[in-house]
Amino acid sequence: MVAVQLLSIFLTPLMLGAGGYEAFENPESAANPIYFIIILLVFTAVLLWLIKRGKEFAIKAIIGLSIIFIFGYIYSALFLFALGNTLVAWALTVIATVISGGDFCMPIRNGMSSISSEF
């Protein structure tokens, strides 16, 4: 658990330095927390609606795609920092994301749930 926190502290400057990744255009804006809360509420409403409709596969797909996106985000920062904005860095980002995402999504494709089976 501590290792994950230390790794995240190490990766934060890479995210800003490699690609200029930021959640909002203007990080100093006072409206950012309001936008963030609205996004969370909308996303929560969509998930609750899907739960009510019994759309387990859609929920798993949303969560799986979100995790794959996070993998790509982290890999792009690492490879862009290490190799610069080159074709090799982007190719390694895609390859690492596909491998990581494929490993994560395998239980979803087989009908088993790695997320939760109690929907």
Instruction: Kindly state whether residue 27 falls inside one of the protein's structural domains.
Output: no
Instruction: Kindly state whether residue 117 falls inside one of the protein's structural domains.
Output: yes
Which of the two residues, 10 and 119, has the higher pLDDT score?
10
Which of the two residues, 93 and 15, has the higher pLDDT score?
93
**CA proximity to 68, closest of 58, 80, 60:** 60
Instruction: Kindly state whether residue 114 falls inside one of the protein's structural domains.
Output: yes
pLDDT at 78: 83
pLDDT for 97 beyond 80: yes
Instruction: Kindly state whether residue 47 falls inside one of the protein's structural domains.
Output: no
Domain encompassing residue 70: 55-119
Which whole-number Å values give the CA distances from 97 to 10, 25, 56, 79, 105, in the listed order? 20, 25, 24, 12, 12
Which whole-number Å values give the CA distances from 61 to 44, 66, 80, 115, in the listed order? 15, 8, 28, 11
Count of structural domains, the chain: 1
Residue where the block lists tokens 């087989």: 110
**43 band by pLDDT with thresholds 50, 70 and 90:** very high
Instruction: Kindly state whether residue 65 falls inside one of the protein's structural domains.
Output: yes
Instruction: Kindly state whether residue 24 falls inside one of the protein's structural domains.
Output: no
Q: Chain-wide mean pLDDT for the chain?
A: 80
Instruction: Kindly state whether residue 5 falls inside one of the protein's structural domains.
Output: no
Instruction: Kindly state whether residue 91 falls inside one of the protein's structural domains.
Output: yes
User: Rounded to a whole number, what is the largest CA-CA distance in the chain?
Assistant: 46
Tens digit of pLDDT for each residue in 21-35? Answer: 667 777 788 888 899
Tell how many helices (H) and how many strands (E) occur in the chain: 4, 0
pLDDT at 17: 58
